[in-house]
Amino acid sequence: MIQLNEQQRKAAEFEGKHLLVLAGAGTGKTGTIIARADYLLRKGVQPNRIAILSFTRKSAREIAERLKLSAPGNINKKEITGRTFHSWCNEIMHLYPDNFPHHSYTPLDEDDRLSAMALALGKNFRDSKKEKVKKEVVTAIYSYAVNTLCSLSDAILHIRYGNMEKEDEQVKQYVEEDRKLIAPVIKKYIDYKKERRYIDYDDMLSVVATQLERNEALRDAVTKRYQHVLVDEMQDTNPLQYKLLKSFVEGSHLFCVGDDAQSIYAFRGADFRTIHSFTDIIPRSEKLKLLRNYRSTQEILDLSNWVLEQSPLRYDKKLEAHRGKGEMPSLIHVEDDWEEADLITDGILDHVAEGGSYADTMVLGRSVWSLSKVEGACLSKKIPYVKYGGTSLMQSAHVRDVASAMRIVANNYDEIAWIRFLQLWDGIGEIKASRIISRVITLATFAEMIACLQQFEGMEINAAIPATLAAVREYNDRPAQAMEAAVEAMQPMLEKKYREEWTSRASDFEVLREVARSSGSITEFITEYVLDPKAETTFKIGAKETDDAVVLSTIHSAKGLEAEIVHILNLNTASYPSSRTILQGEEAIEEERRCLYVALTRAKNSLKLYRNIRSLHTQYTDANRHEQLYFLNNLPSQLVRIVINGQEKKDFPAPFKPTLGEADFPDFDFG
């Protein structure tokens, strides 16, 4: 049995209808949800009647694996699984295909969705100002509207005009002009998906949630199947996901775990306020808090608590450290990013020399770009590291190239895959590819398609093209072998495209083949892995999977992670909150505050914050505004050690102010 404190046990053994567990950082959220599932299994609930949902495949897999270790021996552990919301909806569509013809459609990831939107826009589509309509903007508007269940006008207002006054007549006019322009594009995009048998990831949730809401018989069948629905990271749910969960209120039991102070996904439509209204919206629901932190020392929690207390929002939580007291956090002032990187990496080397490990250290930045200086210093000093964040391996160019052949086999209507696949081959450009696609995409069977490619009227086609597709088709129910066949057949083209990079890129397929072995078909592999929008990239430099390595991560990718020593980069006046965030208004500012809180609470024993001395005086026109909103403004000195030039100081430094007088230059000889 899992060891629990009193509050965790109350949650795990809850006998009511629905429960929301408000759990602060490091209070054992994951352990509590595992304990709940373990308790249900011991009560006789079958594992396939329990849906365990998380927001990334990684965390869902971790929950399932840990549960398998604690589950009673008489349980069929193969049936214990963790799912993302998307994979769960995909499972429901496959279980009830009569209700969901979309189950056989090819999923579109973020890049492919942009490609589909571009095709919907058309080459010559222009707005009234003769400016090109950006596919990225239209896609963002569509996605926001679907995920937040709002109107197109409201989505346009949010995406394009930020915190401008909704009732302003000029803003209303802008929104209406945009709506008239964008509405037909979105309609074309939706029609295009139907024609080509595509489904994007927003659709996966939307069609299932809508069908469950409208179809009582289907809702009864699905809710009876999933007797218990356990949701991790509840604060990150958006209104669409909330709508999906509400379908289970009558027929199932909801057990939701989350932390309102760690809600940092508003850009995906997440609304942390739903967690505050849980007991009002969900009938027969109760709420329970977990406040005992098992990760950090009290000094780290004191700083984290203080950051939350400065918010105008009420989080109503104050974490207490189970481990007691430890080292005070340090606020280290540096001259620039290079000094920051050197200090961090020298500290890592000193720690290892004293008997510590590289894996004890985590470095956090707001973006992948902000980590670049530290990454460069790691490379120069031969420090092994892993990097989380950025482009998914599954979305990298060489993987998408190989996947294009697999996607065509799964769905010969997949125009986007056809375009990518055909243009890899010598002699096929955009025009030639379009001619080929216009013919093959209309054919009913795979055999007809291959025959057409082998004897294409009026055009010579490389015999390797149909041969590659036929080779992949042979392994339709064995995706690992299908990938091997695709890589082998396409290797000459891939080597030519990627040149000296091909050797390192080719090694990625070894990882993917292992992943593919758990899939029963090419379609399943594509859906669950290749096109998973939440998949995070892990770059390993100087370290194998099991090797000791420093973690470099964006803050968003660090959720769920922890380390003995945590460094947080560039905690500067105009960065927390950023200038862009200030323009977006209070809600965006508070989300950035929660980002900082997430970063602070990753640390177990040592927390080091870095601030650029020259950033203490910002060059922005509204510098006073930045100072007023700065999250560490008026930070009590007893909460941190102030370090300047390697020396501990009692007070914060005076702002750096550049000389504003007339500059003089050396004489120049014009003769």
Quick one: pLDDT at residue 127? Answer: 43
Tell me what pLDDT residue 166 has.
Answer: 63
Check residue 312 and give its pLDDT. Answer: 86
Average pLDDT, the chain: 85
Asked if the model's pLDDT at residue 536 lies above 50, the reply is no
pLDDT at 9 over 60: yes
**Segment among 183-197, 474-488, 623-637 with least mean pLDDT:** 623-637
- Rounded distance, CA 240 to CA 202, Å? 9
Whether 313 shows a pLDDT value over 60: the answer reads: yes
In this model, does residue 130 exceed pLDDT 50?
A: no
Residue 163 has pLDDT above 70, yes or no: no
Burial (CB count within 10 angstroms: exposed 0-12, middle 13-18, buried 19+), residue 237:
buried
SS3 category, 358:
helix
Q: For residue 317, what pLDDT band results from cuts at 50, 70 and 90?
A: confident
Residue-level pLDDT at 53: 94
Question: How many whole angstroms separate alpha carbon 259 and alpha carbon 316?
Answer: 11
Q: Name the percent of the chain lying above pLDDT 90.
A: 42
Phi, psi of 543 (to 5 degrees): -150, 135
Report pLDDT for 95: 93
Give the pLDDT band (50/70/90) at residue 273. confident
DSSP codes of every residue in 119-187: HHH-TT-B-TTS-BPPHHHHHHHHHHHHHHT--HHHHHHHHHHTTS-TT-HHHHHHHHHHHHHHHHHHH
pLDDT > 80? residue 504: no
pLDDT, position 169: 84
Return the minimum-mean-pLDDT range out of 15-29, 104-118, 228-242, 405-419. Answer: 104-118
Decide if pLDDT at 78 tops 50. yes
Q: Region 55-64: what's the mean pLDDT? A: 84
Residue 426: pLDDT over 80: yes
Q: Are 257 and 287 in contact (CB under 8 A)?
A: no
pLDDT over 80 at 411, yes or no: yes
Mean pLDDT, residues 176-182: 90
Residue-wise pLDDT for 191-210, tens only, equals 999 988 899 889 999 999 99
Yes or no: say if 483 and 516 are a contact pair by the CB < 8 Å rule. Answer: yes
- DSSP strand pairing (603-612 vs 330-334): parallel
Q: What mean pLDDT do residues 627-651 have?
A: 84
Q: Which two tokens stand for residue 466?
A: 């149909």
What does pTM read for this prediction? 0.78
Task: Provide the b/e sequence for 260-281 (b: ≥16 CB within 10 Å).
Answer: bbbbbbbebbbbbebbbebeee
Q: Is 578 helix (H, G, I), strand (E, B) or coil?
A: strand
Cα 479 from Cα 405, distance rounded (Å): 12
Tens of pLDDT, residue by residue over 574-612, are 788 887 788 777 888 888 999 999 999 999 999 999 998
Structure tokens at 404: 């294009």
Q: What is the pLDDT of residue 482?
A: 92
Q: What does the block give as tokens for 65?
A: 């694996």
- How do residues 221-261 score in pLDDT, each as one tens digit? 999 999 999 999 888 889 999 999 999 999 999 999 988 88
Residue 659 has pLDDT above 60, yes or no: no
385-388: strand order across its sheet: 538-541, 385-388, 550-554, 361-365, 563-568, 603-612, 330-334, 641-644, 647-649
More confident residue, 134 or 657: 134
What confidence tier does 345 reach under pLDDT thresholds 50, 70, 90?
very high
